[in-house]
Amino acid sequence: MNIRLTFTIIITKFLIFMLRVLKSGGTSLPGKVARKIYPDIMKIISKDFRIIMVTGTNGKTTTTRIIGKLLDENNIEYITNKSGANLVSGVITTFIESVNVFGKSKASTALLEVDEAAFNVVTDYVQPDILVVTNFFRDQLDRYGELYTTLNNVRSGIEKSPNAKLVLNADDSLCASLGHNMDREVLYYGFSDEAYTGNSTVVNSDASICLYCKSKYEYSYHVYGHLGGFSCPNCGYMRPTSKVTCVKINELNTSYSDIIFALGPLKESGEPVSYNARINLPGLYNIYNALAAASLGHLLVFSPDSLVKAMESFECGFGRMETIQTNGKTIKVILVKNPTGFNQVLSYLLTEKQNTQIAFVINDRLADGTDISWLWDVDFEQLQQMQGNVSCFYTSGIRAEDMAVRLKYAGIHSDKIQIEKDYETLLNKALDAISEGQNLYILPTYTSMLEVRSLLEKKFGLKEFWK
């Protein structure tokens, strides 16, 4: 028996318990403590697990959720870091929580969401057997440095994980590059050229030039952001062939997306087979998340039926799109954290045809990104089309005033913009302004989501977030 290991596990488990009793929700501290007492702890307790990691800028949590559902469908017991504790300490805490005092667990699989900036450091402690990467977009640059630094960090984490199979987004030139000329198993997912034809121009793209030779990419089709059928006219780097592909979108609405996806054969030749699925969350970006999860399932040779089932029945993650009912009215909370994600949420809002109220809650704490200039890269101009069915756009949070300015310059009439810093007043006003059967949308950044959530929890008994 390893006494030091047992001692560390007991101390850490006690800490986790205490923090929970105190309702602080602090999910990273125990991991820090464990690492202090026993630096090698991860090597020992993670060795019996098959480890699946999900990283990338947008969609980590949702993708992790769908994969979780997929594992459920296939009766695989797994551990996961559900509450978004996705830095090194959170990952460690997740393992320690799941093992007994001898460092053993009932579960054989670990499903971990890992922050893209932390992934490299995480691989110093524990390496994935399969890595799923969603995408790379500009996100909180003041904290993480430049986009290419983030990409290279993930790349070096992959180098430290020589046995990891990769599941990559074919439509993202940055993400796909992680598998370029890579001598290991890589499975790509993406949209086919005919699946979506909504966007023709690539404006304000995060990656318009070739990663290898700096020529401007050409696009044969474009989904959103820099995602699409890219190819470099100079060096030939191009979108790799995807094995899991969205080939048709039957319907996009405010509650779900109905798609046809094709699964290519894993080995040898053969024709891809198509399946129909209704993805339990709206928005183009969630189609990508579902494809990423399906790819993981395909790689593990799960039945296509279970892929479809998981897409149709997963529950969405912490703050990603949560729905609360009150007196026949619906409050929808959708986390926003970077321009591409925000734009996707706005195009989703445009599908709302009823009378509605929208609240933007913008904070600038470290976890939100201290630089809020990215709000100027979001196309709020598209909200002009909604001025007919939105009587008021509320702005709140620490940077409510900046958000109000942004809306004004997006062409929203000043009379329709209201700064309301008190969340409770905001909630009451906005709910009063809609009728039964209508929706109130609250779009918070990360830390304001925690604040809004705790108010909703108090008022409407929303479940606590580590559950």
Partner 1 sequence: MYELNICHLYPDLLNLYGDRGNIIALKMRCNWRGINANVSNISIGDKFDAEAYDIIFLGGGQDYEQEMIQNDLLNEKGEEIRNAVKNDKVFLAICGGYQLLGSYYKTWDGKEIHFLNALNLWTIGGKERMIGNFVFECDFLKNDNYDGKIVGFENHSGRTYLGPEVKPLGRIVKGYGNNGEDGFEGAIYKNVYCSYSHGSLLPKNPALADHLISIALKQKYKDFESLSIIDDKFENLAHDTMVKRIIG
Interacting residue with partner 1 among 414, 461, 463, 467 (CB under 8 A):
414
- Segment 143 to 162, residues that bind partner 1, using CB under 8 A: 146-148
Assess contact for 443 and 348: CB atoms under 8 A.
Answer: no
Cβ-based nearer residue to partner 1, 188 or 342: 342
Q: What DSSP element (H or E) covers 325?
A: strand 322-326
Amino acid, res. 267: K
- Supply the angle between the helices 88-98 and 29-37 in degrees, to the nearest 10: 80
Q: What DSSP element (H or E) covers 405?
A: helix 400-409
**Shortest Å, Cβ 287 to partner 1:** 26
**Shortest Å, Cβ 350 to partner 1:** 20
**214 near partner 1, judged by CB under 8 A:** yes
**Shortest Å, Cβ 375 to partner 1:** 7
DSSP assigned state of 198: S
Interacting residue with partner 1 among 409, 425, 428, 432 (CB under 8 A):
409
Q: Tell me how far apart the alpha carbons of residues 294 and 280 are, in angstroms, rounded to a whole number.
A: 14
Provide the mask over 333-362, with x wherever binding to partner 1 is found by CB under 8 A and - wherever it is not: ------------------------------
Question: Judging by beta carbons within 10 Å of its beta carbon (0-12, 13-18, 19+), is residue 268 exposed, middle or buried?
Answer: exposed
**413 near partner 1, judged by CB under 8 A:** no
**433 near partner 1, judged by CB under 8 A:** no
Interacting residue with partner 1 among 204, 231, 391, 454 (CB under 8 A):
204
Interacting residue with partner 1 among 72, 129, 402, 457 (CB under 8 A):
402
Closest CA to 379 of 352, 413, 416, 340: 340
Assess contact for 201 and 222: CB atoms under 8 A.
Answer: yes
Amino acid, res. 388: G
Interacting residue with partner 1 among 374, 394, 441, 465 (CB under 8 A):
374
Cβ-based nearer residue to partner 1, 1 or 203: 203
**180 near partner 1, judged by CB under 8 A:** no
**370 near partner 1, judged by CB under 8 A:** yes
Give the 3-state secondary structure of 235-267. CCCECCCCCEEEEEEEEECCCCEEEEEEECCCC
**209 near partner 1, judged by CB under 8 A:** yes
Q: Tell me how far apart the alpha carbons of residues 309 and 119 are, in angstroms, rounded to a whole number.
A: 30
Cβ-based nearer residue to partner 1, 376 or 466: 376
**367 near partner 1, judged by CB under 8 A:** no
By CB under 8 A, name the binding residues for partner 1.
141-142, 146-148, 202-205, 208-209, 214, 216, 370-377, 401-402, 404-406, 408-411, 414, 417, 419
